[in-house]
């Protein structure tokens, strides 16, 4: 596979060069604005467009032989606008039929900071003294390279399909970029269809305009809670629920700390993780450092009693033990305690490293409880963030927080629309 990076004045210039160097099957994996730091433009530098393109060597085979080259059904009129979630998965009309969702999601999950690294990895593999099969890391890298390659092939096929449908080149480029970042193909296609209808014809060739237009559309799709807002309420009771190991306890401690230090609120920390001593002690230790009350509750009656005890507190934060969404007994227990709409807000904690289809399964199952918000953790361990938008489109749940590392309390941010869109489209150019 070939990867090339171009610094150009505009997207047309990049497309010309890419076509010349890599051919028409190349796909754009990222675009970003960069400042030239030196030269005649002095301190301020000139803003250039940096475009990274990829081309798989095998992707020039005839379209009919490509696994992904099935024509999509004619796009139905979309009377609901872009934010419409797919109600029934079966009704989905993916552009690419044969690649299974899971392998495609796996591909995305495995993506390393692609733009520079793949070539280095390949060189490294070549220069290894031991045969690659003896070295797990190398085998893993080879797998990543091959997954990226199949992604590039798939995208190349989709791209020629879009070109056949006469989409303007700028929209094709942004489609590639969004799908490469993990946005489901059919959502990306709806977005560019909508953009094509709405963007004035004279602006369709203006890449920055088109990119910002798409970014604005994304900002309308994704909702946020702005962390924990009081919204005129005397007290907020927030429970963090979700599968095991996603970061609920760590995130509870981070949120508690932020509420105390930044908002000067009175916070009590609770856990209903009663079956693991270690987990309880972990949170007790955090509470001690923050000098806030900590309680363990085992059932609804205890929860009510403790809530009454802290009725004059601004925020009661409840950590829960991780549960498998497939364990009906555990889910029942959780519903018994936390299905209390209007009184308890449940924030579902999801890791950005989890496969997209698994995130959906988890959300459907935990959605047996009222879900008031979502927290995406481990952004630092993921290289693609399309799953956040797929989730927003499918479930329409607002994002409350993002976490970006293991450090307590600093590695957390209140989710903002600008930041989320930037994660997908790299508007700020960092
Ligand atoms: N890289 C990274 N690691 C994180 C993040 N948040 C949590 N972790 C780590 O993930 C691991 C699990 O975190 P916990 O907070 O114990 O997860 P949990 O959901 O409470 O786990 P259970 O209670 O066992 O279900 C720990 O090693 C955390 O340090 C994050 O944003 N980034
Ligand atoms: Mg925990």
The CA-to-CA distance between both ends of the chain, in Å, stands at: 25
Report pLDDT for 279.
78
Q: How far apart are CA 213 and CA 197, in angstroms?
A: 12
Is there a single domain that holds both residue 186 and residue 316?
A: no
SS3 labels along 280-342 = HHHHHHHHHHHCCCEEECCCHHHHHHHHHHCCCCCEEEEECCCCCCCCHHHHHHHHHHHCCCC
CA 404–ligand 1 middle distance (angstroms): 11
- Out of 31-35, 87-91, 408-412, pick the least confident: 87-91
Give the per-residue pLDDT at 47.
Answer: 77
Residue ranges making up the domain that contains 282: 236-425
The confidence band for 273, taking pLDDT boundaries of 50, 70 and 90, is confident
Is the confidence at residue 58, as pLDDT, over 70?
A: no
Burial string for 36-55 (b: 16+ CB within 10 Å, else e) reads eeeeeeeeeeeebbbbbbbb
Query: What are the pLDDT digits (tens) for 353-395?
Result: 999 999 999 999 999 999 999 999 999 998 889 999 999 999 9
Of 221, 246, 275, the residue that ends a domain is 221
Q: How far is the CA of 400 from the centre of ligand 1 (A)?
A: 17
- Tell me whether residue 68 is in a domain: yes
Same domain, 210 and 254: no
Residue 229 falls within a domain, yes or no? Answer: no
Residues 185 and 280 in one domain: no
Output the residue whose Cα is nearest ligand 1's atom 14. 247
**CATH number for position 319:** 3.40.50.300
Residues 274 and 200 in one domain: no
119 and 244 part of one domain: no
- Which residues pair with residue 285 across a beta bridge? none
Q: Are residues 217 and 269 in the same domain?
A: no
Instruction: Decide the pairing of beta strands 399-403 and 412-414.
Output: antiparallel
User: Candidates 243, 244, 247, 317: which one to mutate for ligand 1, based on the most atoms within 8 Å of Cβ?
Assistant: 247
Higher-scoring residue by pLDDT: 349, 68: 349
d(CA 153, CA 140): 20
Domain annotation covers residue 264: yes
Q: What percent of the chain has pLDDT over 70?
A: 77
Residue 288 CB coordination number (10 Å): 10
- How far is Cα 92 from Cα 103, in angstroms, rounded to an integer? 17
What tokens appear for 426 in the block?
Answer: 């790299």
Question: Which is more confidently placed, 100 or 330?
Answer: 330
Separation of 348 CA from ligand 1 center, angstroms? 14
pLDDT digits (tens, 9 = 90+) for 71-129: 333 333 333 233 333 333 333 333 222 333 333 443 344 444 454 555 665 665 566 55
Q: Tell me what the pLDDT averaged over the chain comes to.
A: 81
* Residue 239 confidence (pLDDT) above 80: yes
Q: Do 46 and 173 belong to one domain? A: yes
**Interval 160-189: pLDDT, tens:** 889 888 899 999 999 999 998 999 999 999
Same domain membership, residue 240 and residue 180: no
Same domain membership, residue 408 and residue 268: yes
Same domain flag for 254 and 377: yes
Co-location of 45 and 193 in the same domain: yes
Question: Could you give the CA distance from residue 139 to residue 145 in angstroms, rounded to a whole number?
Answer: 10
Say whether both 96 and 130 belong to one domain: yes
The total of structural domains in the chain comes to 2
């Amino acid at each position: 596979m070939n990867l090339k990076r171009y610094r150009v004045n505009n997207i047309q210039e990049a497309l010309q060069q890419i076509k010349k160097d890599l051919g028409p099957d190349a796909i754009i994996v990222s675009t970003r604005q960069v400042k030239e730091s030196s030269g005649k433009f002095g301190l301020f530098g000139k803003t250039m467009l940096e475009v990274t393109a990829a081309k798989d060597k095998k992707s020039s085979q005839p379209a009919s032989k490509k696994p992904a080259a099935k024509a999509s059904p004619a796009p139905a009129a979309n009377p609901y606008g872009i934010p419409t979630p797919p109600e029934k998965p079966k009704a989905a009309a993916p552009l690419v039929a044969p690649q299974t969702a899971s392998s495609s999601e796996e591909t995305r999950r495995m993506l390393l900071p692609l733009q520079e690294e793949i070539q280095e990895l390949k060189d490294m593999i070549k220069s290894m003294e031991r045969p690659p099969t003896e070295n797990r890391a190398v085998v893993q890298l080879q797998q990543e390279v091959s997954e990226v390659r199949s992604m590039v092939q798939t995208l190349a096929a989709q791209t020629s399909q879009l070109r056949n449908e006469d989409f303007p080149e700028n929209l094709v480029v942004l489609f590639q970029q969004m799908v490469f970042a993990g946005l489901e193909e059919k959502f990306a296609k709806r977005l560019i269809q909508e953009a094509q209808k709405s963007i004035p014809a004279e602006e369709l060739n203006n890449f920055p305009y088109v990119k910002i237009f798409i970014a604005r559309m994304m900002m309308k799709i994704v909702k946020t809670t702005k962390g924990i807002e009081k919204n005129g309420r005397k007290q907020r009771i927030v429970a963090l629920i979700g599968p095991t190991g996603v970061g609920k306890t760590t995130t509870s401690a981070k949120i508690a700390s932020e509420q105390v230090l930044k908002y000067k609120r009175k916070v009590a920390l609770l856990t209903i993780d009663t079956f693991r001593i270690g987990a309880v002690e972990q949170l007790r230790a955090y509470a001690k450092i923050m000098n806030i009350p900590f309680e363990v509750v085992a059932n609804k009656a205890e929860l009510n009693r403790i809530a009454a005890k802290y009725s004059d507190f601004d925020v009661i934060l409840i950590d829960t033990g991780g549960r498998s969404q497939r364990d009906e007994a555990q889910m029942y227990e959780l519903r018994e305690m936390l299905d209390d709409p209007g009184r308890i807000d449940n924030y579902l904690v999801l890791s950005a490293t989890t496969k997209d289809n698994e995130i959906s399964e988890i959300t459907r199952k935990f959605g047996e409880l009222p879900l008031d918000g979502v927290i995406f953790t481990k952004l630092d361990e993921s290289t693609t963030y399309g799953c956040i938008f797929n989730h927003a489109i499918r479930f329409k749940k607002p994002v409350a927080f993002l976490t970006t590392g293991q450090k307590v309390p600093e590695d957390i941010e209140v989710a903002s629309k600008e930041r989320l869109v930037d994660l997908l489209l790299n508007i700020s150019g960092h």
